[in-house]
Chain A
Amino acid sequence: MTIQQLSVFVENKSGAMLNILNLLKVEGIQLLAVNIADTVEYGIFRIICSEPSKAYKLLQEAGISVTLTDVFAIELDDKVGELARVLEIFHNESISITYLYSFLLNGKGIMIFRTADSDRTREIVILNKLKFIAERDLYSLV
């Protein structure tokens, strides 16, 4: 239900993301999705990729501030109103979304998100028959 995301602490400055991506490229790590959230002086660069553990070790050894974070991944039908429908479920259960981003993979919408309460989120996903994605399934879609 959850997959591993790399979270990288970057300076809000030209070239900061490029440095990270070049390190991953050299080791043949494939990106599925990236997202950047920024403040004035720094940002958190979030990456879904193949071999997250290997990528984590690699960046850590390069002296980069990085963590592996468990995030939820849910498959959505590629149609109007689908994301709103899912978010309403969480809203009705009073679950706040901490952050969220999405991407398309083989014609399917993938929604990556985190909430303040992982256990409750898990229950809601199951009770509402939302289609979650396991890590191995995600990479097999590539």
Chain B
Amino acid sequence: MNYLLPLQAQTNTHTMIWNPSKECMSRDEMMALQSKRLRKIVNYVYHNVQFYRNKMQVMDLRPDDIHTIEDIQKLPFTTKQDLRDNYPFGLQAAPNSEIVRIHASSGTTGKPTIVGYTRKDIGVWSEVFARCLSSFGVTRDDIFSVAYGYGLFTGGLGAHYGVEQLGATVVPTSTGNTEKHIRLLQDLGITGIACTPSYALYLAETMEKLGITKDDIHLRIGAFGAEPWTDKMRAEIEERLGLKAYNIYGLSEVTGPGVSYECEVQHGSHINEDHFFPELIDSKTLQPVGDGEVGELVFTTLSKEGMPLLRYRTKDLTTLTHGQCACGRTNVRMGRIMGRSDDMLIIRGINVFPSQIESVILSLEEFAPQYMIIVDRQGLLDTIKVQVELRPEFFVDDFPAMERKKKLLIEKLRSVLSISAQVDLLPPGSIERSQGKGNHVIDNRKLV
């Protein structure tokens, strides 16, 4: 057997289109494929998910009413609240015997969002992630470090399977242990990395502290996502790590990272629309919004078996651009995430809802219901600080006892949010009371 690739392939430095038959389809072919898959998925959820059958019956809608992809507008929306109401398995369409993996993301009330994957779902996810990597220029010759958190979060395992699917070498470094990571970057000659943009900057910072420069490592490609970032951050990451930085987008409800990806043109992120059909809507009227206009991104999973979703409202605000890209791909591109249509915060790649923090505070009798959340980017990492008022009857003239009360809240927040928050313990009346529905969040991060 000959494992050697032809010389030309070994030295190829141009980016390759992983699956041209899907990434470069004509619009007519794509719509025909999407229509076929939509008919199938609607029929599938109607017969396997009571939630969707009920919703469609209330709307007097039958699977036969869906003919083409344009009929998608007849279908009901799905929201994060629906996922919560049907926790844990209510929206699962496949029987448990077919589910091979479960991921979970944070929910607003301490209830996580559960997503089950069949073997085929994992295969699709690996395939779309491989398309992303290939678009970034990753090849089988690359050694790729996955520095997203491994675990319930979709980032780690999602990227891991994508790298293996592509055939590059995966190094599952996960997060934390940054010094060992830097050592491996040097010793193994790692050429690619997937992580959050803020972790990339933290990595650069740690390298500088250790006296290691970008010339001592061999990174050439970075796949960054899971949190909003700016062109300024991109330039800084590229400069400090000596690599080319690409955006990758995804959300666990839909599959995880790999829903969309940049190409070498870096003019928006191509959506894997043969699997995840995007719509852009006005968050208030729920009516479609045209190319170039800002709207809320909505996804329908066209091929998912485990937990297929119809018209899932991501709450992410962006734009869509159809038409062929200079890279040759024809799949639709989404712009930068410009914000959220709800109050969700993304801190170090983790979704945090103010209501989660509120429910933790309210569950502890020591604290008054007033609170303030202050988000910042200090140096390179997102920080989150929660200011709370200690009720008068719990004040004691004893610093260690006061610090224990603070620690109790920090621990509870950590277990619910999966990230550590700083806590400011304050006397009653310190936090400004707002009229009516209070704004509890100050986000000092400059992202635009």
Contact = CB atoms under 8 A, between A and B. Distances in A.
Contact of A69 (B387, B397, B399, B402): B397
Nearest to B398: A98
A96 to B, nearest CB: 12
Contacts, number: 46
A7 B399 CA distance: 12
Nearest to B424: A41
B399 A9 contact: no
Interface in A90-140: 98
A9 B424 contact: no
Max count, chain B CB within 10 A of own CB: residue among A5, A46, A65: A65
Interface of A, helix, strand, loop or mixed by DSSP:
strand
Given A60-B392, A65-B392, A46 B430 contact: no
Contacts of B387: 41
A42 B429 CA distance: 13
B390 A9 contact: yes
Contacts of B424: 40-42
A11 interface: yes
B397 A63 contact: no
A63 to B, nearest CB: 6
A41 B426 CA distance: 7
Interface residues of A, number: 21
A39 interface: yes
Interface in B215-248: none
A69 B429 CA distance: 23
A63 B392 contact: yes
Nearest to B397: A7
A65 B390 contact: yes
B397 A41 contact: no
Given A60-B392, A64-B392, A65-B390, A42 B397 contact: no
B428 A46 contact: no
A11 B430 contact: yes
Given A60-B392, A67-B396, A41 B425 contact: yes
A10 interface: yes
A76 interface: no
B427 A64 contact: yes
A46 B390 contact: no
A67 B397 contact: yes
Given A9-B390, A41-B424, A63 B429 contact: yes
A55 to B, nearest CB: 15
A44 interface: yes
A13 B392 CA distance: 18
B397 A11 contact: no
A37 B398 CA distance: 11
A69 B398 CA distance: 10
Contacts of A37: 399
A40 B425 CA distance: 10
Contacts of B425: 41-42
Contacts of A69: 397
B427 A42 contact: yes
Contacts of A98: 398
Contacts of A39: 399
Interface string B9-48: 0000000000000000000000000000000000000000
A9 B395 contact: yes
Contacts of A7: 395, 397
Contacts of B397: 5, 7, 44, 46, 67, 69
A20 B402 CA distance: 21
Nearest to B429: A63
A42 B390 CA distance: 11
A66 B424 CA distance: 19
Contacts of A60: 392
A52 B251 CA distance: 60
Interface string A46-90: 100000000000001001111101000000000000000000000
A105 B397 CA distance: 25
A21 to B, nearest CB: 15
A63 B425 CA distance: 17
A31 B392 CA distance: 23
B399 A11 contact: no
A66 B395 CA distance: 7
A44 B402 CA distance: 10
Max count, chain A CB within 10 A of own CB: residue among B390, B397, B426, B427: B397
Contacts of A40: 424
A42 B395 CA distance: 12
Contacts of B390: 9, 65
B365 to A, nearest CB: 15
Contacts of A10: 427
Given A9-B392, A42-B426, A64-B392, 5 more contacts: A13-B430, A42-B424, A63-B428, A67-B395, A67-B397
18 contacts: A5-B397, A7-B395, A7-B397, A9-B392, A11-B426, A11-B427, A37-B399, A39-B399, A40-B424, A41-B387, A41-B425, A42-B425, A44-B397, A46-B397, A64-B428, A65-B390, A67-B395, A67-B396
Interface of B: 387, 390, 392, 395-399, 402, 424-430
